[in-house]
Amino acid sequence: MDTTQTKDIYTEEFLINMGPQHPSTHGVLYLELKLDGEIIRECTPHIGYLHRSIEKISENRTYTQFIPFTDRLDYVASMNNNLGYVMAVEKLLNLEVPERTKYIRVIVAELNRIASHLIAVGTFAQDLGAFATPLFYCFREREKIVDIFDQICGNRLTYNYMRIGGVQFDLPKGIDEKIKEFISYMRPKVDDYDNLLTYNTIFLARSKHIGVLSKELAINYSVTGPNLRASGVKWDLRKDEPYLVYDKFEFDIPIGENGDAWDRYKVRIEEIRQSLRIVEQAIDALPEGDPTVKVGRIHKPSPSETYFRTENPRGELGFYIVSDGSVYPYRLKIRSPSFSNLAVLPELVKGLKVADIVCVLGSFDILMGEIDR
């Protein structure tokens, strides 16, 4: 087409609603996009479509009664949420837990990290157009992990397994063989994903140099988790502020170079490998004992406050608990990782095409349950 003829064509900005119900918004997220042709000029996220007032609920539940609600925050990584909350309350009460509990907590938390990263990788690949095949592979692997959790605590998604001072049940007999079998099954499967996706030409073309997040912007926006590590910042709470028994295990922290969508995906694949290493070491070193709760179920901490953060698959989950001496918390604030991770989205998508916003959103791996709480 002769370009001299297009100078007089009248164009204007076009408003598109990538509404709460959309297959690729990973939950109920509403993005208001101002487009100039196919290029995005402005993007405004609107959240709150899953605001279930969990913080208000916490003011009328005892500390133990609140544990099922923490499951429903980041519902794909329930064990990690439970862990963060329970450890924050234990810090408030100055409670020590038995050694076996710590190892069991590490094992289930890392298995859940693998399950969560599998979902992240599967849905990211589906968003980019590899419709259903990586997703079904990832869900097949996830079913194996979920089976193990089913035998440990009876549920597939919202486990409610941790308790203040311990865990709900001891591991059943024979579960360590099943976990070892899973580890040896999973290792070649991660190499499969590498062969299938990581260096695939179309995958590279769609995700390399898209949504580049620089180090300074990431730290200023308080982005945490694999997104921060993909931008080149070597920060992981399991190594820098170790809790439970993470300092006894050997594992690496993968970091990326450019901070684009491909790096974020690659960091997650490497983290699956490192989590398998941690689980293997933890299963071998599991001490004997009784990990269930010995203290009562109703707790009355002294009037004080505490803040504790753990490394969730999506970032740093923090619980700020204020107690006034009664059995109910006075104020419980949940600092969710995806909330801060999503805030940086409008800056990253300026100048990209509409198809790329799906890629950036998928690589960020957000979950509306913990954004809206």
Partner 1 sequence: MRPDEVSVVIKAKFPEVKEEAGTNNIIVSKESLLEVAQYLKNPPLALDNLHCITAIDRKEKMELVYILYSIREHYGVTLKVYLTSEDLNVASLSALWKSANWLEREVYDLFGIIFSGHPDLRRILNPYDWKGYPLRKDYSSPEFIAKPRL
Partner 2 sequence: MAVIEKIPAAKLIRNVPGGGLFLTTSESLLKWGKASSLWPMTFGLACCAFEMIAAGASRFDIDRFGAGVFRASPRQCDVMIVAGTICVKMNDCIRRLYAQMPEPKYVIAMGNCAISGGIFYYDTYSVTKGTESLGIAVDVFIPGCPPRPENLLFGLMKLQEKIRNEKDAAR
Q: 143 contacts which partner out of partner 2, partner 1, none, CB within 5 to 8 A by kind?
A: partner 2
Q: Where does this chain bind partner 1 (CB under 8 A)?
A: 47-48, 51, 53, 55-56, 60-62, 217, 219-222, 233, 235, 240-241, 304-305, 307, 309, 316, 318, 320, 322, 327, 330-331, 333, 335, 339-340, 343-344, 372-373
Per the structure block, which two tokens stand in for 197?
Answer: 């996706």
Q: Give the residue with the Cβ less far from partner 1, 75 or 330.
A: 330
Per the structure block, which two tokens stand in for 15?
Answer: 């408003």
- Confirm if 163 and 294 have CB atoms less than 8 A apart: no
Q: 278 contacts which partner out of partner 2, partner 1, none, CB within 5 to 8 A by kind?
A: none
The order of strands in the sheet holding 39-46 is 14-18, 30-36, 39-46
For 18, phi then psi, to 5°, come to -90, 85
Q: Give the residue with the Cβ less far from partner 2, 139 or 320.
A: 139
Cα 20 to Cα 31, 78, 273, distances in angstroms: 8, 24, 34
Q: Give the residue with the Cβ less far from partner 1, 139 or 330.
A: 330
The pairing of strands 305-312 and 166-167 is unpaired
Q: Give the residue with the Cβ less far from partner 1, 17 or 220.
A: 220
Q: 75 contacts which partner out of partner 2, partner 1, none, CB within 5 to 8 A by kind?
A: partner 2
Write down the least CB distance from residue 325 to partner 2, Å. Answer: 21
Q: 22 contacts which partner out of partner 2, partner 1, none, CB within 5 to 8 A by kind?
A: partner 2
Q: 20 contacts which partner out of partner 1, partner 2, none, CB within 5 to 8 A by kind?
A: partner 2
For residues 193 and 117, what is the distance between their CA atoms, to the nearest angstrom?
12
Q: Give the residue with the Cβ less far from partner 1, 155 or 222.
A: 222
For residues 51 and 317, what is the distance between their CA atoms, to the nearest angstrom?
18
Write down the least CB distance from residue 284 to partner 1, Å. Answer: 31
Write down the least CB distance from residue 222 to partner 1, Å. Answer: 4
Write down the least CB distance from residue 223 to partner 1, Å. Answer: 8
Q: Where does this chain bind partner 2 (CB under 8 A)?
A: 19-23, 27-28, 48-53, 56-57, 59-61, 68-69, 72, 75-76, 119, 135-136, 139-140, 142-143, 156-158, 368-369, 372
Q: 330 contacts which partner out of partner 1, partner 2, none, CB within 5 to 8 A by kind?
A: partner 1
Work out the burial of residue 201: count CB atoms within 10 Å of its CB; fewer than 13 is exposed, 13-18 middle, 19 or more buried.
exposed
Q: 113 contacts which partner out of partner 1, partner 2, none, CB within 5 to 8 A by kind?
A: none
Q: Give the residue with the Cβ less far from partner 2, 71 or 270.
A: 71
| Residue 339 bridge partners (DSSP) | none
Q: Give the residue with the Cβ less far from partner 1, 75 or 328.
A: 328
Write down the least CB distance from residue 181 to partner 1, Å. Answer: 39
Write down the least CB distance from residue 221 to partner 1, Å. Answer: 5
Q: Give the residue with the Cβ less far from partner 2, 100 or 142.
A: 142
The CB-based long-range contact list for 297-305 (8 Å cut-off, 24+ gap) reads 297/62, 297/64, 298/62, 298/64, 298/327, 299/62, 299/63, 299/64, 299/89, 299/93, 299/164, 299/327, 300/325, 300/326, 300/327, 301/89, 301/92, 301/93, 301/325, 304/92, 305/92
For residues 176 and 239, what is the distance between their CA atoms, to the nearest angstrom?
25
Q: Which helix (H) or strand (E) holds 177?
A: helix 175-193
Write down the least CB distance from residue 19 to partner 2, Å. Answer: 7
Write down the least CB distance from residue 330 to partner 2, Å. Answer: 15
Write down the least CB distance from residue 281 to partner 1, Å. Answer: 25
For residues 373 and 363, what is the distance between their CA atoms, to the nearest angstrom?
21
Cα distance from N-terminal residue to C-terminal residue, the chain: 51
Q: 100 contacts which partner out of partner 1, partner 2, none, CB within 5 to 8 A by kind?
A: none
For residues 329 and 27, what is the distance between their CA atoms, to the nearest angstrom?
29
| Residue 290 bridge partners (DSSP) | none
Q: Give the residue with the Cβ less far from partner 1, 64 or 101.
A: 64
Strands (E), the chain: 14-18, 30-36, 39-46, 162-163, 166-167, 305-312, 315-323, 329-335
